[in-house]
Amino acid sequence: MTQARNLYDVMYVVATKLWQSASITANATAVLDTEIANDLIPSSRGRVAIIDSEQTRIRSAAQTVVDQTNVIYSTLDDSGIDVFPNQLKIRNDQYQADKTAANAQSIQLLLTNSTTMHADIGPALANTLSASAAAATAANNLSAAPGDPLLAAAAANAATALGTYINALQATIDSSRINRHYSELIPYAAQLNTLNDLIISSPTSSNANILAAKLTETKTLLQSIRTGASAILASQNTSLSAIDQAVTAARASIDYPLINSTTSSVVSSINALVNTMIINDDNLTRTSLASAIGDFKTEQATFAALSIASSSARVPYAVSLQNVTVDLKFWSNLIVAEADSLARQAKGVPIAVGEEFSKVTPLSTSAYQIADNALASSQNAATAVQAYINTPTAAKQTAASTALSDTLSTAGSLLSAASTLDTSLNSSASSALPIIWLSSRCDAFRDTADSWWNNNQWKNLVFYQISDAIRSATPGRLQVNQSGNYRVVVINAGRALSGQNRGTRTAANFFEGINADTSRNVDATAPTLTFINQSPSATFNDRLAY
């Protein structure tokens, strides 16, 4: 419950920051659009011109837009939010409820303003755009002769085709998402490269076995990648095939040049997979916004550099600038609407720049507030049950049953709210996740604070080992599988294995192998610097990050 509430808090912050930057851009483009539109109004004599003062105002307003474009793009990129799928769903729902030309054209407008470089999404987008144009034409024809059975049949067929293409496009976008971030693969490539260098300098069966273990671990990671993107699937299969060859060579421990060459191929294939994941253009909003920004900057720079004396000769340039302004305004407004909706579903009304997130009042229908209610309900239920256990009475039994029923009800409400939010939230991998302390002070971390953190009470819950007392320019001293110079090693204990008693807090009851060394027990003032990492088995299930 606590994690859910915190998650919705973060989602609110992400959506609000996106709403803030998009709102500023939307307002700036609206000002510029209005300025140009007013300046293009013909005079009483029918003449259209951009006089010097109008040119100055247009340049100033356009520069304001340019100054904001990098902010809105980076905020959208950081969030990973893609407003396109939900906007397409909204417009399609409207069209399916009322198959008018206007509703078909609304879909067509969204698709016309969208662009992608994705090999799978591109054709699906083009097909859907053609279908939307056909549906709009068919609906227009039918509106002109509503009683014509042939036109009615044509409109119905066009509507069915459009629905089919929209479903296919949505499915292609969903399939193009990746369940893992490319950054997860980079350390594995680096570690394999290090171990491969070790094979060259010290070609022993022990080092070959260590390399084989790391290759097997890398294979497990690559196999966990889930996506329907054809380019990534092809690159993934290439890497897995390369790993199989390298593992076979490493386990044989005979031909060390072969071990080196096959492992080098693995590293190269992983780097290629990383690059393919990086350029996986699965966020239509981000790509379309980038295209709109690029077009706008081109026309803005052209207009800013104009040195034409004739006021009438400036008109075509102003028209071109207005056209790209409208496109940028289109996406800014879509992002504003979507971010506002997401913020409200997550927690509350988005706040203006400069206001404190800690002072936001949650909406009663928000996922955050429902999670908070569920948390309070579960705590009340735990208290009521414990009271009944301590002194069983009929009244306390009734109170405990009532509290448990309330907890189940609020948990159901939380699942419903989460499902609703999930339906409208479409995103690719985010580039950044905000870490925000929702307070103006952090007194718990002050040196003089008598707090749980400063008293190091968290050592009772978390095992940690620090490479050095201070961070210096020298390499770390921690090693995994007898290699490396790591500053940080994190162990995540798997489920309790045979013989482990989690009720007794010793390393051996949580970890395996050298990870369970007795030097790590109690305060561990002089723990071993060595760790081991292996594939999961019946006798080892530690998971390491380093």
The tens digit of pLDDT for each residue in 217-274 reads: 999 999 999 999 999 999 999 999 999 999 999 999 889 999 999 999 999 999 999 9
Give the per-residue pLDDT at 368: 83
Burial classification of residue 108, based on how many CB atoms lie within 10 Å of its CB (0-12 exposed, 13-18 middle, 19 or more buried): buried
Question: What are the two backbone dihedrals, phi and then psi, of residue 478, each rounded to the nearest 5 degrees?
Answer: -85, 140
Task: Reply yes or no on whether the pLDDT at 292 is more than 50.
Answer: yes
As beta bridge partners, residue 491 has 544
Structure tokens at 154: 């044509």
The residues, any chain, with a CB within 8 Å of residue 236's CB and separated by 6 or more, are 222, 225, 273
> In the block, which residue shows the tokens 């417009």?
91
Q: Which of 271, 274, 276, 328 is nearest to 297 (CA)?
A: 328
Highest mean pLDDT among 131-135, 421-425, 469-473, 536-540: 131-135
pLDDT for 151 beyond 70 = yes
Reported confidence tier of residue 331, pLDDT bands at 50, 70, 90: very high
Question: With 60 as the cut, is the pLDDT of residue 444 above it?
Answer: no
Check residues 210 and 496 and name the one with the higher pLDDT: 210
What was the pLDDT predicted at 423? 62
pLDDT at 179: 86
CA distances from 205 to 198, 259, 514 (A): 12, 11, 20
* Residues 208 and 253 sit within 8 Å (Cβ to Cβ): yes
Beta-bridge partner residues of 479: 530
Q: Please tell me the predicted confidence (pLDDT) of residue 267.
A: 97
Q: Is the dihedral of CA 395, 401, 405, 408 positive or negative?
A: positive
User: How would you classify residue 481: left for phi > 0, otherwise alpha for psi between -120 and 50, otherwise beta?
Assistant: left
- In this structure, what token pair is assigned to residue 44? 């009483």
Tell me the two tokens of residue 508.
């051996």
Phi, then psi, of 331 in degrees rounded to 5: -70, -35
pLDDT range class, residue 335, cuts 50, 70, 90: very high
398, 385 contact by CB (below 8 A): no
pLDDT-derived band at 318 (thresholds 50, 70, 90) equals very high
d(CA 115, CA 500): 56
Higher pLDDT, 379 or 63: 63
Q: Is the pLDDT of residue 415 over 80?
A: no
Q: Any idea which fold 182-278 has? A: Four Helix Bundle (Hemerythrin (Met), subunit A) (1.20.120)
pLDDT at 447: 54
pLDDT at 426: 64
pLDDT at 245: 97
Residue 493, pLDDT score: 84
Strand-pair partners of 530? 479
Q: Which amino acid is at 482?
A: Q
pLDDT digits (tens, 9 = 90+) for 482-498: 888 887 888 888 888 88
Q: Say if residue 439's pLDDT is above 80.
A: no
Question: Is the pLDDT score of 132 beyond 80?
Answer: yes
**Sequence ranges of the chain with CATH classification 1.20.120.290:** 182-278
pLDDT in tens, 512-523: 999 999 988 877
Task: State the burial class of residue 494 (Cβ atoms within 10 Å of its Cβ: 0-12, 13-18, 19+).
Answer: middle
Which pLDDT score is estimated for 377?
77
Residues 6+ apart with CB under 8 A from 58: 32, 35, 36, 39, 50, 303, 318, 321
Neighbours of 506 (CB within 10 A): 14
Rounded to whole angstroms, the Cα distance separating 452 from 246 reads 49
User: Distance between CA 327 and CA 302 in Å, rounded?
Assistant: 17
- d(CA 399, CA 401) in angstroms, rounded, equals 6
Q: What percent of the chain has pLDDT over 90?
A: 59
What pLDDT was estimated at residue 51? 94
| pLDDT at 435 > cutoff 50 | no
> What is the CATH topology of the domain spanning 2-82+292-359?
Four Helix Bundle (Hemerythrin (Met), subunit A) (1.20.120)
Quote the pLDDT of residue 379.
78
pLDDT at 116: 95
pLDDT of residue 425: 66
**How many beta carbons lie within 10 A of that of residue 471, not counting itself?**
10
Question: What percent of the chain is predicted at pLDDT more than 70?
Answer: 88
Residue-averaged pLDDT of the chain: 88
Encoded tokens for 445: 């971390």
On the question of pLDDT at 467 being above 50, the answer is yes
Give just the sign of the alpha carbon dihedral 283, 286, 289, 293: negative
Rounded to whole angstroms, the Cα distance separating 510 from 491 reads: 10
Contacts 24+ apart (CB under 8 A), 466-474: 467/529
Give the model confidence (pLDDT) of 338-348 as tens digits. Answer: 999 999 998 89
Compute the average pLDDT of residues 313-324: 96
pLDDT digits (tens, 9 = 90+) for 80-113: 889 999 999 999 999 999 999 999 999 999 999 9
Look up tokens 């859907």; give the residue: 128
Q: What is the mean pLDDT of residues 370-384?
A: 79
Tell me which residue of 436, 353, 359 sits closest to 21, measured CA to CA: 353
Q: Would you place residue 396 in the very low, low, confident or very high pLDDT band (cuts 50, 70, 90)?
A: confident
What is the Cα–Cα distance from 32 to 332, expressed in whole angstroms? 14
pLDDT category at 432 given cuts 50, 70, 90 is very low
Res 437: pLDDT: 47
Q: Give the model's confidence band at 461: pLDDT under 50 very low, under 70 low, under 90 confident, else very high.
A: low
Residue 386 is which amino acid?
Q
Task: List pLDDT tens digits, range 20-57.
Answer: 999 999 999 999 999 999 999 999 889 999 999 999 99
Return the CA Rg of the chain: 30
